[in-house]
Amino acid sequence: MLRTPTPSFFRPRKAVDQRVLTQNRTLVHDINRRNVLRGAISLGALSMLTGCDVSEDNSVQKVLRTVSAWNDRVQETIFRPNHLAPTYSVAEVVKPPRFNAYYDIEDVKPIDGGTWTLGLAGRIENKQPWTAQQIYALPEQEIIIKHICVEGWDYVGQWSGPNLRDFLQRVGADLTAKYVYFICNDDYTESIDMATALHPQTILATKYAGDRLADPFGYPMRLRTSTKLGYKNAKWIRAIEVTNDFRETFWSKQGFNWFAGI
């Protein structure tokens, strides 16, 4: 797959250049005055004429994000809680896994597993923090599933670690709550709906292809679920909160779909 020079959520974001819009203000006004383009057609056409992007306009964003929120509900409705994603053979596993983050692999800040703890918050009875050793001592589940990125690429990965449903039960989490929220070491946040958290193929992965997770892929612990796009699978988790409050997450704040089911 070729890396393309277009803006991508894979690369660090830069502030959007508004100059084109300012420079072409007369042109934009002129077009509006002549009423050549109307309605939504003008939105796309203007973006072509001026190189600016009306998608960023507040009222346009409001409409698009409302539809995106509606799509969240649609996805929640069609979600099949016990329907398993296809699994693959060990021979198909890609090693190492493909790196993805909002920064480059060189910028990963490794976690010291000796001092790391997993904090618990929200609707959980036993909020005692967990050490890596305690997590690693839990029974493991292995899944060989596809990682599908919102960009379109995919690869088969072999992940193992404690099943999230088992873990939530073990700490006395309220399984009727709406969301499980992950707070990560790189200021990343992600949350999933409870139905996904309880899906049989949702695990807190600590190993890849039988070996302890390498730093770029989430050591000491990350989320792997077979029913979400790649970006929902939070890495370097440092706290888990079970909650009924919806909060925007790292990517949803920027306009990516929150549910992101596959």
Partner 1 sequence: MTTRAVKSTNHERRLHPLPVRIMHWINALAIFIMVGSGWKIYDDDVILGWLHFPDSLVIGKWAQYGLQWHFFGMWIFVLNGIAYLTYGIATGRFRKKLFPISIRELLTTVSDALRFKLGHDDLTHYNAVQKILYLGVMTVGILIVISGLALWKPVQFSELANLFGSFQTIRVVHFLCMAAIVGFLVVHISLALLVPQSLVAMVNGGPTVDDGAPPEVNPTH
List residues binding partner 1 (CB under 8 A).
1-2, 4, 6-10, 13, 16, 39-41, 44, 47-48, 51-53, 55-56, 63-65, 67-68, 71, 75, 78-80, 83, 85-86, 146, 148-154, 226-227, 251, 254-257, 261-262
- CB-based contact 122:191 (threshold 8 Å): no
> What is the C-alpha separation between 98 and 148, in angstroms, rounded?
11
CB closer to partner 1 out of 182 and 251: 251
Q: Measure the CA angle with vertex 166, ends 251 and 89; round to 5°.
A: 75
CB closer to partner 1 out of 48 and 91: 48
CB closer to partner 1 out of 130 and 258: 258
Q: Who contacts 249 (Cβ-Cβ below 8 Å, separation ≥6)?
A: 181, 189, 190, 191, 258
Overall residue count recorded for the chain in this entry: 262
- CB-based contact 201:159 (threshold 8 Å): no
- CB-based contact 89:144 (threshold 8 Å): yes
Shortest approach of partner 1 to residue 209 CB, angstroms?
21
Shortest approach of partner 1 to residue 176 CB, angstroms?
23
Shortest approach of partner 1 to residue 73 CB, angstroms?
13
Shortest approach of partner 1 to residue 110 CB, angstroms?
28
CB closer to partner 1 out of 216 and 230: 230
